[in-house]
Amino acid sequence: MHIALRERTGREANPSAAVVNSQSVKSAEKGAVETTKSATIQDRDGAELVLNKIRRRFPWLELI
């Protein structure tokens, strides 16, 4: 959700939770120039890579 919309509805600008599944990761990677999770890596094995990147980019998240 866009930050301005969150603020207009009385919510914190940054969300405290996020949902990630293998389908959303695959969709996000299609636009990426460099892919770090190839089709040869199982979802459960790639989860650590994805979660580490999420934590660095969105440190305020409390629940993923």
pLDDT per position as a tens digit, 16-63: 888 877 665 555 555 554 555 556 777 777 888 888 888 888 888 888
pTM over 0.75: no
According to the model, what pLDDT value does residue 59 have? 87
According to the model, what pLDDT value does residue 34 have? 52
Q: 54 with 8: CB under 8 angstroms? A: no
Structure tokens, 53:
């990147």
Q: Is the dihedral of CA 6, 61, 53, 57 positive or negative?
A: positive
Structure tokens, 21:
């599944």
- Using the predicted structure, report yes or no on whether residue 1 has a pLDDT greater than 60: no
The angle formed by the CA atoms of residues 45, 15 and 26, to the nearest 5 degrees, is 35
